[in-house]
Amino acid sequence: MKAKARAHANIALIKYWGKADEALIIPNNSSLSLTLDAFYTDTHVHFDEHLAEDEFILDGKSDPKTLVKISKFADLFRAIKGINTRVRVKSVNHVPTAAGLASSASGFAALGVAINAALDLNMDAEVLSTYIRQGSGSATRSVYGGLVEWQKGSNTTDSKAVFIDDATFDLGMVIVVIDKDEKTISSRVGMQHTIETSPYYTLWAKDSARDLEAMKEAISNKDIDHIGSIAEHNALKMHATMMSANPAIIYMQPDSLKAIQMVQAMRNEGLTAFIAMDAGPNVKIVCKLSESDQIVSRLKTTFKDEQIIVSGPGPDAYVLEE
Ligand code: 2P0
């Protein structure tokens, strides 16, 4: 009962912000993301009769805080298999340089794919995504490569990932690492606080449904400018909604705004460049891969080489040979 798997991180172009069901992680709005080639997690699992407790080692160090979530997650699969065997989980996050972009999305997706293989559960990617979702919402989308929708659904079996497009039409992303430290307010806490206190929250959920439809149309047209402009508008609306919570949640830092202004300047010069920020200060730039060199050379006038990472679309999550 051993297996190893790899899953790539994803960045949402239509963001997930808020849960309809906190226990089952069913979101209030559907989301859509690009799986990235540049960031991934490798996870080895071993369900071992000799273990008294579950164990979790991340990048060579034991991580008791995440272990609680991992044990709960493993319980979902143990219940299906009808076993109580404890598991040893070893994960390695692969992120270029000290980016601090280690992701719960690639982490739970790799873990789900590895457990599915180790326990011979034979779930297909769509069904598996409904379990991975219960580890971390954004992980749902990392089961597939390219562009992926997380359909919000209304129950635990229909809130799932759906593959949209392999994104091999020059779509890319440049990531500007502003701060690699762990954020002070986790997404889980931040989204709940936004729901409870922002007068704009219901508008966010309603508007993002419209954005999603426009995004799917732009993807079917392979129109990167349109994809970027919808993504930027959606990301900034999410940040505006967070800022309208009480007390406000502000993830942006002065250097985030500096990067945003540089992106606007690049656009005025005719480059395809749009921002997509998550629950943190780092700035992601939706772009054409063929223009990424020009974008990087402009960013290098202000940011250090190691703060800038380029990525194309990544693949599906998959089982690795041991
Ligand atoms: C996203 N984020 O769509 C959005 C945009 C952050 C901002 O998904 O509570 O770590 O585990 O479901 O998946 C981050 O939320 O939260 C996230 P949980 P998760 O990528």
pLDDT digits (tens, 9 = 90+) for 41-60: 999 999 999 999 999 999 99
Q: How far apart are the first and last CA of the chain?
A: 12
From the CB of 280, is ligand 1 less than 6 Å away? Answer: no
Is it the case that residue 17 has pLDDT exceeding 80? yes
User: How much is the pLDDT for 181?
Assistant: 78
Q: How far is the CA of 33 from the centre of ligand 1 (A)?
A: 11
pLDDT-derived band at 183 (thresholds 50, 70, 90) equals: confident
From the CB of 12, is ligand 1 less than 6 Å away? Answer: yes
Is it the case that residue 102 has pLDDT exceeding 80? no
Average pLDDT score over residue span 179-196 = 90
Is it the case that residue 130 has pLDDT exceeding 80? yes
- Write down the pTM of the prediction: 0.97
Q: How far is the CA of 82 from the centre of ligand 1 (A)?
A: 30
Q: How far is the CA of 138 from the centre of ligand 1 (A)?
A: 5
Residue 11 to residues 140, 142, 227, 311, Cα–Cα distance (Å): 12, 9, 13, 11
Cα–Cα dist 296/183, whole Å: 25
pLDDT-derived band at 22 (thresholds 50, 70, 90) equals: very high
From the CB of 103, is ligand 1 less than 6 Å away? Answer: no
User: How much is the pLDDT for 100?
Assistant: 57
From the CB of 26, is ligand 1 less than 6 Å away? Answer: no
Assess contact for 100 and 133: CB atoms under 8 A. no
Determine the Cα angle at 23 with ends 136 and 13, to 5°.
40
Which domains does the chain carry? 2-167 (3.30.230.10), 171-311 (3.30.70.890)
From the CB of 149, is ligand 1 less than 6 Å away? Answer: no
Is it the case that residue 99 has pLDDT exceeding 60? no
> Residue of the nearest CA to atom 9 in ligand 1?
188
| Bridge partners, residue 43, by sequence | 5, 91
105 membership: H or E segment, kind and range: helix 104-118
User: How much is the pLDDT for 2?
Assistant: 98
Phi, psi dihedral angles at 100 (to 5 degrees): 65, 30
Q: Which residues of 184-202 are buried (b: 16+ CB within 10 A; e: fewer)?
A: ebebeebbebbbeebeebe
DSSP string, 174-238: EEE-S--SPPSS-HHHHHHHHHHH-TTHHHHHHHHHHHHHHHHHHHHTT-HHHHHHHHHHHHHHH
Cα–Cα dist 233/231, whole Å: 6
Cα–Cα dist 255/270, whole Å: 23
53-56 — which CB contacts under 8 Å span 24+ positions?
A: 53/86, 54/86, 54/87, 54/88, 54/89, 55/86, 55/87, 55/88, 55/89, 56/89, 56/90, 56/91
Is it the case that residue 293 has pLDDT exceeding 60? yes
From the CB of 152, is ligand 1 less than 6 Å away? Answer: no
Average pLDDT score over residue span 92-119 = 86
pLDDT-derived band at 180 (thresholds 50, 70, 90) equals: confident
Q: What is the DSSP letter of 22?
A: T
Residues 6+ apart with CB under 8 A from 72: none
Q: What is the pLDDT of residues 222-271, one digit of tens each?
A: 999 999 999 999 999 999 999 999 999 999 999 999 999 999 999 999 99
Q: Could you give the 3-state DSSP secondary structure of residue 1?
A: coil
Average pLDDT, the chain: 96
pLDDT-derived band at 96 (thresholds 50, 70, 90) equals: low
Q: What is the pLDDT of residues 61-86, one digit of tens each?
A: 999 989 999 999 999 999 999 999 99
Assess contact for 8 and 102: CB atoms under 8 A. no
Helices (H) and strands (E) in the chain, counts: 8, 14
Average pLDDT score over residue span 287-304 = 98
Q: What is the pLDDT of residues 25-42, one digit of tens each?
A: 999 999 999 999 999 999
Residue 43 to residues 54, 56, 199, 288, Cα–Cα distance (Å): 15, 10, 41, 31
Percent of the chain with pLDDT over 70: 98
From the CB of 279, is ligand 1 less than 6 Å away? Answer: yes
Is it the case that residue 217 has pLDDT exceeding 90? yes
Is it the case that residue 194 has pLDDT exceeding 80? yes
Assess contact for 252 and 262: CB atoms under 8 A. no
Residue 294 to residues 72, 169, 270, 289, 291, Cα–Cα distance (Å): 45, 18, 11, 10, 5
